[in-house]
Structures are given as C-alpha cells and as structure tokens.
Amino acid sequence: MKQYGVIAVSSILSAIIAVFIYRVFEEPREILIRDSQPAKYTAYSDDPLNSSRERLFLSSAPTNFTAAAEAVTPAVVNIRTIQGGNFDLWGSNNSLSSSSGSGVIISPDGYIVTNNHVIEEGDDIEVTLNDKREFEAKVIGTDPSTDMALIKIKGNNLPYLIFGNSDSLRVGEWVLAVGSPFDLESTVTAGIVSAKARNIDILEGQDRIESFIQTDAAVNPGNSGGALVNTNGELIGINTAIITRSGRYEGYSFAVPANLVRKVIKDLRDYGVVQRGIMGVYIDEITNRTAKELGLPSVEGVLITRISPGGSAEDAGIEKNDVIISINGVKTRTLPEMQELLGRYRPGNLLQVEYLRKGKPYKVEIILKDKTNGVASISSTEEAILRTLGFELRNLTKEEKKRMQVDGVKVISIYRGSKIERTNMDPGFIITNLDNRRIGSVKELIRELEEASGKVMLEGIYEHYPGSYYYAFPID
C-alpha cells in the first residue's frame, strides 16, 4: 500500500511541476470569442434613402473617433442663406442679411438634408463643401412639423453619409456632432447619448413631432442641420437645437432621429410634401394617477383621450381611455416615442397595434389614413391647390353619409385672407357639387379644380341648417 501511495504522490508532484514549467515558458495567448451570427443589414439599393444599417449596438465598441471623423467630415457642408431686402432709389440694398448653418449630403448626386429653420428665410442658398467648392442650392421641400428640409446641388460622385439605425442607440453610447458652429467648418465634437425620445416643446403646429436624441456633444449656433453620427460614421441624427440660458452651449443638445429623418426626406423628394399617416386619435401621457385609475401594470403607454369620427382608430374599434403600448412590436412607453413611430408611416400602411383596456391586453390591425380620411397619398401639387385656395378638407365618414343622406367633402378649416375666406364660407360646409358636377371625395374635387378655369361655383350644405348654399370664386 505504501508503494501505491508513493506512486500517487509522485504523479501529483510531476503534474504540478509540468504545469508550472508550461506557465513560465509558454507565451500567453489571447482567446477571442466571436458571435457566429453575422451582422444583419437591410437590402441595399441604388437609392441611399432606401438603404440603412440595422445592426444593433455595433457602434458602441470599439470607440474610434478618428476613423468616424475622417469618414464623416467630407459629407457635412456649410449652408449660408441670403435674405434680400428692398432697393432704394439709388439701387442700394440696406436690409441685406445672411445666416448660416450646416447640412449633410445624403446622396452622390447632391441631395442635402438640413433643418427647416436654417433655410426658411433665405432667398438664395449657398453651399460650401469640405473641399471649399461652392454651389447654389434649390429647395426640394420643407417640413416645419419636424424642422426638416431637403435641398439639392448639382454634382456627381459627391461624398455622402449612410443612414444608421437610430433605434439601436443606447443611452451612454458615444456619438460625434459634425457641423459649422460660428462658421468654423468641419468642426467635430464628441459626447454621449444623454436621453432618447425627448420633447422640449420648441416646434409649432398640430402635427409637430418632437422625439429628440439628447446628447452632451458640444453644439452651438451654426451646428443646426449638421450630422450626429455614431462611431461607425453612420448618420443617426440631425442636430437641431440646444437648451441654453447664455445663448451658447451648456451641455444639452438635441437631434432629430435618423429613422424619422429618412422617412421625411424621402417623402419630400418623392412627393414634395410629407405623407403623414393619421391614426385618428387624441393622445396624452400616462401619469402615476391615471395608471392607478386604469389598472395599468406600470406607468407606461399612451392614453387615448378622444377618437376622431371616421378615423382609423374608430374603424378598428379602439375607444377612449384605451392605452396603446406598442406599434408593430415596438414599445410606445411615452407620447414622443409614439409620435416618432407614427411619423415613419404613410397613409395606407397597416399597423399592428397592441393596447390595454381596463388593464387587459388586446391586439388590432389599423390602416392609417390621411387628413382627408383617405388612404391614398396626396401629391405636393394637389396639396398646393387646396393651400392656395385656402382650406383643408376631408372625406365624409360612413356615419356622416348615412346620417345626412349625402355624399361629399367636408371643410375642416379655412385660412385667413384666402380666396375661400372671402366667399364667407364657414368650416363644416359640405361640398356636394362643383359647377353642377357631383363630388364624392377630396381626390375628385382636386381633379375638378385642376381642370377648371375662370370662376367656379361650389354647392353644398351645412348639417344643422336647412337648404343649399353656394360659394363662387376665381380659380385663376
């Protein structure tokens, strides 16, 4: 037995000595563990606005500011707008002024995205590239509701940025802001994502969408319209605003998310106007009090406070006090998140909506409509006709047609100082005929207006007043 014990002890000591010698003389080796799942991309096409990168969190590591800066700066431009004044008797212009901002080239043929407030007052727009080349730009379209604008210069094989996936951004992730603060072109600053889906109440209009990416990257006057990029050099936002008491940077800057920017800009390019899908609801934030009253499991979601007659939500059976918690599988924890998400869809798009009613979950499909209660997109030309005349219209709902026994188009608002206002027409007027031709939809009315000349006559009714009413106005 002693012999076996000696052999066992000898074997253990030999093993220990061998391991020690191996650790001393063997070079250390680095073991890399890689995920076997490849990075995923959407299908690339020749259209940069149809191409985006959907990889998640890849930009977080490694953090390489220099590579990202080198890739981005050639595609970020300086924009100078010139506002002309009135000429006096001597031919001089005493009120000529200018302002400047930034922009991002998003296609090799010269499409540039910027903020609406950068170019809205400009009579002439001058664009200076990173390599000092100068171009005159023309406005393709603007969207005050998101403070976005699309302009274009004549060029070929220009440097441009690829849209990244702003949904994949994480709070704490490094980002770079690139622009022309104080006319200092190609300025790069770094910071982290401080918050997402931030509403700071700076935009105007009923259709405004505020769901900003908040960062602490230094942004100053002149940065507006410039690029917010991740460390892969992908465009994940357009720098738009700062919160400041001094008028200069104090640590709070805000950018419009790239996923929303891409949709808005593509609409401006293809239609000249943004095609907004309307759910037909009035919404509000969930508070701790309302969460308790409605029996919600958490203080999250978007509260439905009112339903628009004939809208998409009413058609789908959604009711007042329902709480929307997701759209197409994406959580809608706050009102800005839901607004941003809906802002990416057009009339006619089908959405999978999950909501809570008295604490119980439900799912429903909703087909988005436009302002006219239709599902077809309205072109910029068609919208311009209505805007020039001075009114907003929508199709009658099924309930309204049945209740009033009439087919037609309802006037929902009238612009001050317009041709329509001068006819003394009131909102709520239901147009049934144009020059004795029956009108069944907004599309039909626009088509008739396009073909009309001289003076036209609109005939219709008011729901709570007897008889027919007539309004004439010149179309030219």
Q: Could you tell me if residue 276 is inside a domain?
A: no
The pLDDT value given to residue 96 = 56
Q: Could you tell me if residue 198 is inside a domain?
A: yes
Under the banding of pLDDT at 50, 70 and 90, the label for residue 6 is: low
| 382-398 mean pLDDT | 83
Structure tokens at 146: 């998101």
239: pLDDT strictly greater than 90? yes
Distance of CA 142 to the CA centre of its chain: 12
176 and 260 both lie in a single domain = yes
Domain CATH for 100: 2.40.10.10
The pLDDT value given to residue 86 = 52
d(CA 102, CA 187): 11
223 and 306 both lie in a single domain = no
Last residue of a domain, one of 303, 335, 367: 367
Q: Could you tell me if residue 53 is inside a domain?
A: no
Last residue of a domain, one of 152, 175, 197: 152
Active site residue 464: no
Q: What is the pLDDT of residues 93-106, one digit of tens each?
A: 555 567 789 999 99
Of 57-66, 102-111, 124-133, 350-359, give the lowest mean pLDDT range.
57-66
Q: Catalytic residue among 52, 100, 107, 117, which?
A: 117
d(CA 328, CA 310): 22
Q: Could you tell me if residue 300 is inside a domain?
A: yes
464: pLDDT strictly greater than 90? no
| 140-164 mean pLDDT | 93
295 and 384 both lie in a single domain = no
Q: Could you tell me if residue 264 is inside a domain?
A: yes
Active site residue 224: yes
Structure tokens at 126: 């001058």
Beta bridge partner(s), residue 459 = 433, 470
Active site residue 124: no
Q: Domain of 294?
A: 281-367
Of 35-39, 136-140, 234-238, 339-343, give the lowest mean pLDDT range.
35-39
170 and 265 both lie in a single domain = yes
- Are the CB atoms for 202 and 336 separated by under 8 Å? no
If one compares 129 and 89, the residue with the highest pLDDT of the two is 129
d(CA 336, CA 196): 9
The pLDDT value given to residue 240 = 93
| 345-349 mean pLDDT | 84
Q: Could you tell me if residue 122 is inside a domain?
A: yes
333 and 384 both lie in a single domain = no
133 and 193 both lie in a single domain = no
| 169-176 mean pLDDT | 93
d(CA 474, CA 227): 46
The pLDDT value given to residue 14 = 59
172 and 230 both lie in a single domain = yes
DSSP-derived secondary structure letter, 93: B
Of 92-96, 341-345, 424-428, give the lowest mean pLDDT range.
92-96
Q: Which of 79-83, 102-106, 216-220, 329-333 has the highest mean pLDDT?
A: 102-106
Number of domains the chain is built from: 4
Q: What is the pLDDT of residues 63-77, one digit of tens each?
A: 678 989 999 999 999
Last residue of a domain, one of 126, 152, 178: 152
318 and 360 both lie in a single domain = yes
3-state secondary structure string, 346-383?
A: CCCCEEEEEEEECCEEEEEEEECECCCCCCCCCCHHHH
Q: Could you tell me if residue 261 is inside a domain?
A: yes
409 and 360 both lie in a single domain = no
Q: Could you tell me if residue 468 is inside a domain?
A: yes
CB atoms within 10 A of CB 134: 12
198: pLDDT strictly greater than 50? yes
265 and 287 both lie in a single domain = no
Q: Catalytic residue among 59, 100, 224, 253, which?
A: 224
Beta bridge partner(s), residue 127 = 79, 135
The pLDDT value given to residue 374 = 67
Domain CATH for 306: 2.30.42.10
260 and 285 both lie in a single domain = no
DSSP-derived secondary structure letter, 60: G
Q: What is the pLDDT of residues 265-286, one digit of tens each?
A: 988 988 788 888 889 899 999 9
343 and 407 both lie in a single domain = no
The candidate with the shortest Cα–Cα distance to 254, out of 371, 166, 355, 349, is 166
407: pLDDT strictly greater than 60? yes
Q: In which residue are the tokens 């940065």 written? A: 223
290: pLDDT strictly greater than 60? yes
Distance of CA 308 to the CA centre of its chain: 23
The pLDDT value given to residue 152 = 96
| 427-454 mean pLDDT | 91
Q: Catalytic residue among 52, 100, 145, 147, which?
A: 147
The candidate with the shortest Cα–Cα distance to 311, out of 370, 243, 381, is 370
